[in-house]
């Protein structure tokens, strides 16, 4: 059995920075350190950090002292409220997410309506819309384009900006952008900025390429991780048998009946999780022999 682990599998720079930053804050802090939402969509990593004193909270009002902003970022108003409450803020918002906030803010101030492509309830997008004034529509997929165009046309705006969540699906972004331009591009000023981060783009491209070379794909990452979900969809889309697991315990017993296995992992999956899956596959193969 050959196992190929994708070169881009696992932690991206933004997540690495947030996790390392949290570790440093925990090491120098005598008191609890709070994080607004899960710092990373990975149970093992969260458990390790919680053992060191990190407390995950869902409302900033539950924090005292030090609070961490994770790589996804937060809404502008929440940040202002936290500052007014004199919390010590350690901001690990990924620079790529900050770049999306700046783009949204810049165009909103120039009277552009914003189409944000991404998941409605994703925390990153909740942050981004806070930079769009009240003039935005979130588009999750192709079926929501018509509705978003109606909302735009019923607003007082005449110019349109298209951006996306940093982990949005690249081919979907291009497809939806074309749909919008075809429908209203002739009589509307449309600016489309691909704000999908490079780490995501490279990971998605490698997943598609790897899926074409193997008999089975294993995608590793949290079930609540949106970027991992996209890798799963991309691999499946190549018509190769694909499974999505969080840990090696989920590997089925027939998991080694393949000549070539490809492994990819989401941006919030640590190197150790990938290694434990590889180790488990090798052990199962030895048992069978
Ligand atoms: S996926 Fe991209 S934007 Fe998101 S945290 Fe990682 S590097 Fe930053």
Q: Which strands sit side by side in the sheet containing 216-220, from one edge to the other?
A: 2-5, 260-265, 216-220, 241-245
Please state, as a whole number, how many other Cβ atoms lie within 10 Å of the Cβ of residue 218. Answer: 28
What number does the ligand 1 atom closest to the CA of 97 have? Answer: 3
Phi, psi values for residue 30, rounded to 5°: -80, -30
Would the CB of 96 count as within 6 Å of ligand 1?
Answer: yes
Portion of the chain with pLDDT greater than 70, in percent: 97
CATH numeric code, 13-93: 3.40.50.11270
1 has a pLDDT exceeding 70: yes
Task: Give, for ligand 1, the residue of 15, 70, 95 to mutate: max count of ligand atoms closer than 8 Å to Cβ.
Answer: 15
Please state, as a whole number, how many other Cβ atoms lie within 10 Å of the Cβ of residue 279. Answer: 11
What's the rounded Cα separation, in Å, for the pair 239 and 212? 8
CA-closest residue to ligand 1 atom 5? 14
User: 3-state class of 276 per DSSP?
Assistant: helix
What number does the ligand 1 atom closest to the CA of 95 have? Answer: 8
Do 2-10+198-288 and 96-192 fold alike per CATH? Answer: yes
180 has a pLDDT exceeding 50: yes
Catalytic residue (choose from 25, 38, 79, 124)? 124
The partner residues of 220 in beta bridges, in order of sequence, read 245, 265
Please say whether the beta carbons of 160 and 113 come within 8 A. yes
* Chain Cα centroid distance, residue 171: 16
256 has a pLDDT exceeding 70: no
pTM score, two decimals? Answer: 0.89
Would the CB of 200 count as within 6 Å of ligand 1?
Answer: yes
Q: Work out the pLDDT band at 228, boundaries 50, 70, 90.
A: very high
CA-closest residue to ligand 1 atom 8? 14
Tell me how far the alpha carbon of residue 26 lies from the centroid of ligand 1, in angstroms.
Answer: 22
DSSP one-letter code for 188: S
Please state, as a whole number, how many other Cβ atoms lie within 10 Å of the Cβ of residue 209. Answer: 12
Please say whether the beta carbons of 106 and 191 come within 8 A. no
Domain ranges of the chain: 2-10+198-288, 13-93, 96-192
- Give tens-digit pLDDT for 52-103: 999 999 999 999 889 999 999 999 999 999 999 999 999 999 999 999 999 9
289 has a pLDDT exceeding 50: no
DSSP one-letter code for 159: E
Tell me how far the alpha carbon of residue 96 lies from the centroid of ligand 1, in angstroms.
Answer: 6
Mean pLDDT of the chain: 94
Cα–Cα distances in Å, from 113 out to 97, 108, 162? 19, 7, 9
Q: For domain 2-10+198-288, give its CATH number from 3.40.250.10, 3.65.10.10, 3.40.1010.20, 1.10.3720.10.
A: 3.40.1010.20
What number does the ligand 1 atom closest to the CA of 18 have? Answer: 5
Q: Work out the pLDDT band at 286, boundaries 50, 70, 90.
A: low
Range of lowest pLDDT (151-165, 196-210, 252-266): 252-266
* Helix axes of 95-109 and 13-28: crossing angle, nearest 10 degrees: 110
CATH T-level topology, domain 96-192: Cobalt-precorrin-4 Transmethylase; domain 1 (3.40.1010)
Would the CB of 8 count as within 6 Å of ligand 1?
Answer: no
What number does the ligand 1 atom closest to the CA of 227 have? Answer: 1
Is residue 285 annotated as part of the catalytic site, yes or no? no
255 has a pLDDT exceeding 70: no
């Amino acid at each position: 059995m050959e196992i190929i682990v994708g070169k881009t599998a696992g932690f991206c720079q933004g997540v690495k920075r947030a996790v390392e930053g949290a570790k440093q804050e925990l090491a120098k802090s005598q008191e609890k350190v709070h994080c607004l939402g899960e710092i990373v969509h990975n149970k093992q990593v969260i458990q390790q950090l919680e053992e060191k004193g990190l407390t995950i909270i869902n409302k900033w009002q539950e924090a005292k002292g030090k609070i961490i902003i994770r790589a996804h970022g937060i809404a502008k108003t929440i940040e202002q409220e936290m500052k007014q409450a004199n919390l010590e803020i350690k901001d690990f918002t990924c620079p790529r997410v900050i770049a999306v906030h700046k783009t949204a803010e810049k165009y909103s101030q120039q009277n552009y309506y914003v189409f944000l492509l991404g998941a409605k309830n994703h925390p990153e997008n909740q942050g981004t819309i806070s930079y769009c004034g009240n003039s935005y529509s979130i588009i999750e997929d192709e079926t929501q384009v018509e509705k978003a165009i109606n909302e735009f046309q019923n607003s007082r705006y005449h110019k349109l900006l298209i951006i996306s969540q940093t982990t949005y699906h690249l081919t979907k972004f291009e497809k939806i952008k074309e749909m919008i331009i075809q429908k209203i591009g002739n009589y509307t000023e449309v600016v489309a900025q691909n704000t999908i981060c490079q780490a995501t783009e490279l990971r998605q491209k490698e997943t598609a390429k790897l899926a074409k070379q193997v008999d089975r794909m294993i995608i590793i990452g949290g079930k609540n991780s949106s970027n991992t979900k996209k890798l799963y969809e991309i691999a499946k889309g190549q018509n190769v048998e694909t499974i999505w697991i969080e840990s090696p315990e989920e590997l089925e017993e027939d998991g080694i009946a393949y000549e070539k296995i490809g492994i990819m992992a989401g941006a919030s999956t640590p190197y150790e999780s990938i290694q434990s899956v590889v180790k488990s596959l090798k052990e199962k193969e030895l048992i069978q022999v």
